[in-house]
Chains A and B, each alone.
Chain A
Amino acid sequence: MSAIAHESYAADTRPAGSRQPTGFGMVLYRAKKSFGSPTPYLMMFGIGLWLFAYWLLCEALSLPRFEKIPGPITILTDWLSASPNQGTSIYTPDYYQHIYVSCRRILVAFLLATALGVPLGLLMGWSRKVKEYTFPLFETLRPIPIMAWVPLAILMFAGYETPVIFLATLASFFATTLNTMLGVQSIDESYFRAAGCLGSRKRDVFWHVVVPGAMPYIFTGLQISIGVAWFSLVAAEMVSGDYGLGYLILSSYVNSVTVPMVIGMLTLGFVGWFSSAIVRFIGDRLMQWHVKALAMQGR
């Protein structure tokens, strides 16, 4: 046989004795490498600088317009205190009830929106007919700000829970559907042609080209969608709610307790960040090909 065909192409180019770390070793290796670079120190310094500025404005100098805002030390002492002055801390069960209720609503809304939005978006991107039926209506409803739906939601659904979930689902649904549709449309025509040449039925094209090809866009869409879900959830909880972080923020304001208000805001920040991270993690897990291709490009 010819020499070229049987040569091994993955010649070992590593120096003798070196091995790429795997698993936990890889985590340690990355951590070690990261602490050898200026990035983590700059990050810590940056956060410190912001906190210092915040403290200076609100507590040390108490400048006009800032004097009513609780400073970082006030917040932190109350947040971590077993008997908080303003009623909300990591020791009060109510605090966790708010977090739990909001997270539960987000989970339901996000799953509902994904379950509806992804299939609809895939069909809209794949079939011209489905798109022609649905897209005009979709594009008319999508720009309506979620707050404009609030009265309708309250009229349509009874109680506190369903209107709030409805509003969060709606916002999330639009983002997911649109991105999924764009994802399908972004797939290079040659993949469809290649699939056709190789003897695919329509079903095969759907499962082997449309779904995986749209995946990167779908997960970008899901990241956006979980963000807007939080956004509209908090807005809805402020209007109609009995529990939840949005409710905590607004009711604290109404009762003139500013510390729980800021605690609610910061908690939203953390929980929102964490939920996005979960979506990103699942995305990376499902799309190893994408992660690896990006890594090859040095990203």
Chain B
Amino acid sequence: MRPQDFSSGAVATKGAISIRNVTKIYDPDGAQVMAVDNCSMDIAPGEVCMIVGPSGCGKTTLLNAIAGFHSITEGEIILDGVTLCSPKQPLAGQSADRIVVFQNGALFPWKTLAENVAYGPMVQRRWPKAECLERARTALKEAGLGAVVDKYPGEVSSGMARRAEIVRALINDPKVLLLDEPYRAMDALTKQIMHEALLEMYDRTKVTIYFITHDLEEAIFLGDKVYVMTTRPCRVKKVIDINLPRPRDYTTLTTEAFRLLVKEADEAVHEEALKAFKAGEREMA
């Protein structure tokens, strides 16, 4: 059913993220809220890094800092040797080497899927406009969306829209793909299809992935490493290496190794979830 011919995918050469002692303090109305506390991570090029933690723990704060949406208070974030942000320059510049796929989807509803995908290369003047559109169509076709290239996002299912959004990101050949719970609102069956599609795209591009999720099985199925975060302020509680062989497909979900990893992660997560629940913190993100 699934020929295993994409093991010869691309080799990762870029996208090493180093998060060093990052602290973020929000200051709404003088009430200092520490969202991230002295957090450090090293993400290797082409690594699929899954971030798991209680709601509102500050995972998204880190993602926003990498993407350049929010500033940081202390520490620094380095991408391939270039400092993105540090106390000297707390807000990273936004650029197409780090692309976010949003929780609720952010395909422009006023552009067709092809126009959406072509948008990045077009504004960056990568290729002439017609070529951008042509390549966008090809990329969508490769992702199994050939039949809906000229539809508007409002006309396709959320699964297709989310997949098109990942295509829109990958066509720019980014160093890092930042995903903020992209499959949160999907049912289990759609999610599984989305996971396999994402893995397939990953195997082709070997882009570094920073993926925030609540779903442990999702984290272990997709990831090379699972970072379990503490409740707010956010720190790394535990790093779990996922040594399941790639390429993975849904049969992986039923293996013994997979079950053991889920159990291991579950214990760590449960403890933090309990703490967060007891703290009675309202969900922020």
Residues in A lying within 8 Å of B, measured CB to CB: 1-10, 188, 190-191, 193-201, 204, 208-209, 212-213, 215, 287-290, 292-293, 296
Contact = CB atoms under 8 A, between A and B. Distances in A.
Interface stretch (B14-22, B41-49, B74-82, B91-99): B91-99
Contacts of A8: 144, 146-147
A9 B106 contact: no
A190 B178 CA distance: 14
Contacts of B146: 8
B68 A1 contact: no
B154 A9 contact: no
Contact of B119 (A1, A198, A201): A198
B181 interface: no
Interface in B19-68: 67-68
A7 B123 contact: no
Given A193-B67, A289-B109, A292-B155, A4 B196 contact: yes
27 contacts: A2-B3, A2-B196, A2-B197, A4-B144, A4-B200, A5-B197, A5-B200, A7-B144, A8-B146, A9-B144, A9-B148, A10-B147, A188-B106, A190-B106, A193-B67, A193-B106, A194-B106, A194-B107, A195-B119, A197-B96, A197-B169, A198-B96, A199-B96, A199-B120, A200-B123, A204-B123, A293-B154
Q: Interface size class for chain B?
A: 35 or more
Contacts of A188: 106
A197 B143 contact: no
Contact of B110 (A10, A194, A215): A215
Interface string B91-118: 0001110111010101111111000000
Nearest to A294: B154
B62 to A, nearest CB: 15
Contacts of A296: 154-155
B94 A2 contact: no
Majority secondary structure of chain B interface residues (helix, strand, loop or mixed): loop
B1 A3 contact: yes
Majority secondary structure of chain A interface residues (helix, strand, loop or mixed): helix
A190 B108 contact: no
A289 B102 contact: no
B108 to A, nearest CB: 6
A141 to B, nearest CB: 32
A194 B100 contact: yes
A12 to B, nearest CB: 10
Contact of B68 (A9, A196, A201): A196
Given A1-B6, A2-B6, A4-B196, A293 B96 contact: no
Contact of B98 (A10, A197, A293): A197
Interface of B: 1-3, 5-6, 67-69, 94-96, 98-100, 102, 104, 106-112, 119-120, 123-124, 142-148, 152-155, 160, 168-169, 172, 193, 196-197, 200
Nearest to A297: B154
Given A9-B147, A9-B160, A198-B119, A2 B106 contact: no
A96 to B, nearest CB: 41
A7 B110 CA distance: 26
A190 B160 CA distance: 19
Contacts of A212: 108, 110-111
Contacts of A287: 110
A18 B6 CA distance: 40
A3 B2 contact: yes
A257 to B, nearest CB: 52
A293 B152 contact: yes
Contact of B99 (A5, A9, A198): A198
A199 B124 contact: yes
A15 B165 CA distance: 32
A8 B144 CA distance: 6
A203 to B, nearest CB: 9
B5 A1 contact: yes
Nearest to B94: A196
B69 to A, nearest CB: 6
B214 to A, nearest CB: 19
A200 B110 CA distance: 17
Contacts of A209: 108
A197 B107 CA distance: 12
A299 to B, nearest CB: 12
Contacts of A199: 95-96, 120, 123-124, 172
A197 B110 contact: no
B250 to A, nearest CB: 10
A54 B157 CA distance: 51
Contacts of A7: 144
A13 to B, nearest CB: 12
Contacts of B172: 198-199
A289 B160 contact: no
Contacts of B1: 3
Contacts of B108: 191, 194, 208-209, 212-213
A198 B148 contact: no
Contacts of A201: 123
Contact of B155 (A194, A196, A215, A293): A293
A2 B1 CA distance: 8
A193 to B, nearest CB: 6
Nearest to A9: B147
